[in-house]
Amino acid sequence: MPAKTGKQYVERLKRAKSSVYIHGEKVDDVTVHPAFRNVIRSMAALYDRQYEKPEKMLYRSPTTGQPVGMTFIQPTTIEELIARREATQEWARLSAGMMGRSPDYLNAEVMAMGVANDLFAEDDPMFAENAKNYYEYARENDISLTHTLIHPQMNRAKALHEQKDADVPLHLVERRKDGIIVSGIRLLATQGGITDEILVFPSTVKKSTSSEDPYALAFAIPNNTPGVKFICREAFDYGRSAWDHPLAARFEEGDAIVSFENVFVPWERVFVCGNSSICNRTFRETNAVIHMSHQVVAKNIVKTEFLLGVTLCLIEAIGIGEFQHVKDKGTEIMLVLETMKSHLYRAEHNAKRDRWGTMTPDFAALDAARNWYPRIYPRLSEIIRILGASGLMAIPTEADFHNEEIGDIVRRAMQGATVDGYERVQLFRLAWDLTMSAFGARQTHYEYYFFGDPVRMGMAYFDGYEKEPYKQFVREFLCTAKSVFIPSDSKS
């Protein structure tokens, strides 16, 4: 079937009736539940955009000729790589970059692993074929995915098999002729319960040993598979208007604990089964991490553009644009934006075809960007809070403006240099929701840990960085300095 519409996305969720729990209750229909309905509308808008701009968002399936999502494409030229990125940014602009798990993120992963599937064949050729077939299935049916990568924290000082209750982390229970049985808990499924399927892979930031083979699993199953439960955290969409909560009321993706209770996974949906070595190498050796990073950097550029826009509007609204420290803080955000754009440009224009024929971005540029942005994003949020100051605390609601007794008072009290009180508060509520509300705080936390612990990632980056040329540069310089040294007491 061709790429789906927003209506089809919603209808699938209604039919699925996945086991989703929030606030201590089981959800009968996520599409109408207050915690999910607004973000589902936003997700539907992404799929509708595919048909509103088909020249940018769709391409012809290589197997059926049907129009399918551009974000699933296996790029074979730099032009196709850029076209995929432009589709990603088209989607990102609809949410101002606030939806960290829009469908394109995992579409890139499924593509990379489906094409570069021979790694999975190390265990059994069947697994490579499964990865290939799943990519085609996901692309042709426009499957939306959530995923889980990490186990519950429990006792971080011990390995999984050393835990007091070693059956809590998701693990292999039984191999059967027709598939496997798995049980346990996984974190952290963003958009859990509002997608078609769930992709389970282990995190590779921390490498596993063979002693953890029972936990080394990779598979994909429908969200409504018997035994799968999504236990969602408290919703940050409080049912308020998009005026009062301009971001949370539209883009609150939600995060979930996922419980697998003796869940059956057919063999055709399994990619890795009990092999830590393959799991450890999957993201890097299939180049999935590169294509996922390409999507993330593209999304983060849009997000930074939005932060800069909010900052500039805030500065103008209250007339602080001529202060030295204000300009300096605005410059910080501009420098981040231009640096991220430079990383992206280098990544795309230095791209090379890998051995599977996929045009693959320069990972050195993307790796630097994905390590740097989590460290700098909290500062971007801080800048908006500093510039907004007390104005981010004194923010009436829209209802206050319509109250007969206080409406005029609020409008006069909240006026700015270039905007009236109503417009200024609307802008400041956006800045507040971006940085200080529960939604905004989650955005900062989420970006900081987007690819994992940034300190551990930094250690991996340091260890993998090619250091020898720079040390050799210094050694040669020192040797040169010795050869030209002239003693101070020498005579001319």
| pLDDT, block means (10 residues), the chain with 492 residues | 95 97 97 98 98 98 97 98 98 97 96 97 97 98 95 84 87 97 95 96 76 92 98 96 98 97 98 94 95 98 98 98 97 98 98 98 98 98 97 96 97 96 98 98 96 92 96 94 66 52
- The dihedral through the CA atoms of 393, 395, 400, 405 has a sign that is positive
Residue ranges of alpha helices (H) inside 286-420 are 288-317, 324-349, 363-388, 398-401, 407-413
Determine how many CB atoms are found less than 10 A away from the CB of residue 6.
19
Q: Which 3 state secondary structure label does DSSP give 148? A: strand
Residue 148 in tokens = 């889980």
Which own/partner pairs from 345-349 qualify as long-range (CB within 8 Å, at least 24 positions apart)? Answer: 347/294, 347/297, 348/78, 348/81, 348/82, 348/85, 348/294, 349/78
The pLDDT, as a whole number, for residue 142 is 98
pLDDT value at residue 305? 98
Spatial distance between the Cα atoms of 284 and 205, rounded to a whole number of angstroms: 11
Helices 421-435 & 288-317 angle (0-180, nearest 10): 150
Question: How distant, in Å, are the alpha carbons of 100, 106, 250, 311, 330 from that of 314?
Answer: 25, 35, 22, 5, 11
Q: What are phi and psi of 197, to 5 degrees?
A: -140, 170
| Confidence (pTM) | 0.95
**Rounded-to-integer distance, Cα 356 and Cα 375, Å:** 34
Report the C-alpha gap between 258 and 170 in whole angstroms.
9
| Residue 487 confidence (pLDDT) | 66
From first CA to last CA, the distance across the chain in angstroms is 87
